[in-house]
Amino acid sequence: MFSSFMVNAWLAGTLVALAAGVTGLFVVIRGNTFAAHALPLGTFPGAAAATFLGIDQLVGLVACAALGVIGISQLSRRQRSDVATALTLITLLGLGTLFLSLSSRYSQAVYALLFGDILAINNSELIPVAIISAAVIILTALFFRPLLLTSVSPDIAAATGVSNRLMELLFLSILALATAMSLPVVGALLVFSLMVGPASAARLITDRPLPAVCLSVAISLATIWSAIALSYVTNWPIGFFVGTLAAVCYCASQGFTRRKQGQGASPPGPPPKAEPLETGPGL
């Protein structure tokens, strides 16, 4: 389990889980789960374009992620955010279809980018993943308060001089970086699970921002570590375990929250005693 080819898998999974846990909480608070689902799928064609142009795959992923952020940000000025996200997604997927048809070499790698290939991560790919993961965490830490304020109360944020549009653009950029780095590790279809599942579970357990971020990261780490170990033992796809464990964590947090609320509720007291009716002297 800790042989040479598995070390990079553990390291890459840890880096992705750290970034996903941090950004995932803001995805849940801001209600941008559609963007968290669309950006990985929209970023995926960038790898096909990079292969066709003969450049590094990660460069194509980041460039396509940037196009996704610009598209969502610009279109959301005239359309609803979900409509803008959908329009951007179908445009990028159309470009991806074009590059896939032009590059026959890339068709064999489609499955890996959709579902991840964590065991194939080498040292040269690990360094960019570490750099992008560090950038995601640092940017989120630096702008934690304004991001949180615009997520919880946009009106108060605007009254205090914080630009909601600027923070939205910053958040989408951070989300795009996190999805671009996660794509080669867990795949486009599983970035969503790793971001939304642990963060939603943490959000149910606590309302305090910092503990929720820490708990989201912890659940995300536990999910990816358990998925790697179970995949190694059973030889089943790691994507199956990532999605399943993320759903299990969310369901468990729901049960924990309901039990906690049930224990915290005060037991019903005895019914109030009825007052005797007053009777007049003639009755």
pLDDT digits (tens, 9 = 90+) for 3-25: 666 888 888 889 989 999 999 88
What was the pLDDT predicted at 276? Answer: 46
Structure tokens at 73: 């940000």
What was the pLDDT predicted at 4? Answer: 67
What was the pLDDT predicted at 202? Answer: 92
The C-alpha atoms of residue 216 and residue 197 are separated, in whole angstroms, by: 9
The whole-model pTM stands at 0.79
Is the Cβ–Cβ distance between 187 and 231 less than 8 Å? no
What was the pLDDT predicted at 5? Answer: 66
The C-alpha atoms of residue 147 and residue 167 are separated, in whole angstroms, by: 6
Q: Which residue has the higher pLDDT, 190 or 213?
A: 213
pLDDT bucket at 283, cuts 50 / 70 / 90: very low
The C-alpha atoms of residue 198 and residue 180 are separated, in whole angstroms, by: 19
pLDDT bucket at 236, cuts 50 / 70 / 90: confident
The pLDDT tens digits of the residues spanning 140-179 come to 999 999 999 988 888 888 888 888 888 888 888 888 888 8
Residue with tokens 């795949």: 187
What was the pLDDT predicted at 275? Answer: 45
The per-residue pLDDT of the chain, averaged, comes to 80
The pLDDT tens digits of the residues spanning 57-114 come to 778 888 888 888 888 777 777 666 777 777 887 888 787 777 777 766 555 566 666 6
Distances (CA, A) of 128 to 12, 16, 90, 177: 10, 12, 28, 11
Q: Is the pLDDT of residue 274 over 80?
A: no
Q: Is the pLDDT of residue 225 over 50?
A: yes
DSSP, residue by residue, 72-131: HHHHTTTS-HHHHHHHHHHHHHHHHHHHHHH-GGGGGGHHHHHH--GGG--HHHHHHHHH
Q: Is the pLDDT of residue 232 over 60?
A: yes
Q: Mean of the pLDDT values across residues 39-48?
A: 75
Domains and CATH numbers, the chain: 4-263 (1.10.3470.10)
Q: Mean of the pLDDT values across residues 223-247?
A: 88
Q: Is the pLDDT of residue 200 over 80?
A: yes
